[in-house]
Amino acid sequence: MPQYMDIAVNLVGSSLEKDIQRVVDDAAIHSVTSMVVIGSQIDESKQAIELCKQFPNQLYSTAGVHPHHASQWQPDSLDTLKELSQASCVLAIGECGLDYNRDFSPREIQRKAFAEQLALAAELQMPVLMHERDAHEDFLAILKEFRSELPAALLHCFTGNKQSLDAYIKQDLYLGVTGWVCDERRGQELASIVADIPNDRILIETDSPYLLPRSMRPKPKSSKNEPKYLPYIAQYIATLKAQSLEDFAAQTYLNSRTFFGLKN
C-alpha cells in the first residue's frame, strides 16, 4: 500500500481550519500519513506550530513570510522566525519568495524579505520552501546568491514552462507539483513537461484547500481541496511519467522525507 506525504497544506487561516480533525483523519484513511502545514506569515507560523503539537508525527510545519505578506516584514521578523524555527515540528523556512502576479506587497519589499529568509535558512542549515509566480528572473537571481549555502531548496506549486523548469533543475531544486497539472485549461503546459522533472527531484502536494483537481470524477461535492486527494494527483502524474503508481508514490515519499530531513 503506497504511503504519501503532502508537502504543502494550508490548514491555518483557511476554510479547513474548523474541520482539522476530520481532514487529518480522512487523509490517513487514504494513506496520506503526514503533511506539512504552511506558515505564510509570522502569526500563522506560530499557530501552525501549536497545531502540530496536537498531531505529532502527522503534522509538521514551516515558518516564514509569504511574498503576499512581505509588507508586514519588520526589523525583528528575522529574529522571530529564528526563534520559531527551533520548534521540533518546523522542518523548513518558508513559505518565502516572490509573487509578481498579484503584487499584494511592493516588489522591493518582497525581494528584501525573500533574501533575508534565504540567508536565515543558510545560517540555520535548514531547507527552504519557496513560492514564485510571474517573477522568474528576479527569483532566480536572488536564489543564486544563496543556493550554494542552502542544504536543500524546494519550489512548491511549480507551474512554470520548460525554460524555467530547466533553470530550476540546474539549481538542484526540488519541485512540488499540485492538482494544477490536472487542469485542462491552465495545466496543459505543466502536464506536457512534468515527465522532464527528474525522479529524485519531484514532490507532490495538494496546496489544500486550493487547486482541487478539475479532472476528478465523480467531482467532489465540495470545491475545497483536501490532503485525502493526494493519491489522485499521484496517479495522474504517474500516468504522465509512464510509471506505476506504486513506484511513483514510493519515490515521491522518499523524496519528501529526504528533503525535510525525516527518517523514512
pLDDT at 237 over 80: yes
Task: Check whether 246 is labelled as a binding-site residue.
Answer: no
Q: Tell me, rounded to whole angstroms, the distance of Cα 145 from its chain centroid.
A: 21
Task: Check whether 44 is labelled as a binding-site residue.
Answer: no
- Find the domain containing 12 and state its range: 4-260
Share of the chain above pLDDT 90, in %: 97
Pairwise CA distance, residues 15 & 30, whole Å? 21
Task: Check whether 95 is labelled as a binding-site residue.
Answer: yes
Angle at the Cα of 75 from the Cα atoms of 62 and 129, rounded to 5 degrees? 20
- Residue 91 is predicted with a pLDDT of 98
* Beta strands at 32-37 and 59-63: parallel, antiparallel or unpaired: parallel
Instruction: Please count the structural domains in the chain.
Output: 1
Assign residue 15 the CATH number of its domain: 3.20.20.140
Q: Tell me, rounded to whole angstroms, the distance of Cα 216 from its chain centroid.
A: 21
Average pLDDT over the chain, rounded to an integer: 97
Task: Check whether 172 is labelled as a binding-site residue.
Answer: no
The tally of CA atoms less than 13 A away on the side-chain side of residue 20 is 18
What predicted TM-score, i.e. pTM, was given to this entire model?
0.97
Contacts of 79 (CB under 8 A, 6+ apart): none
The pLDDT tens digits for 12-34 are 989 999 999 999 999 999 999 99
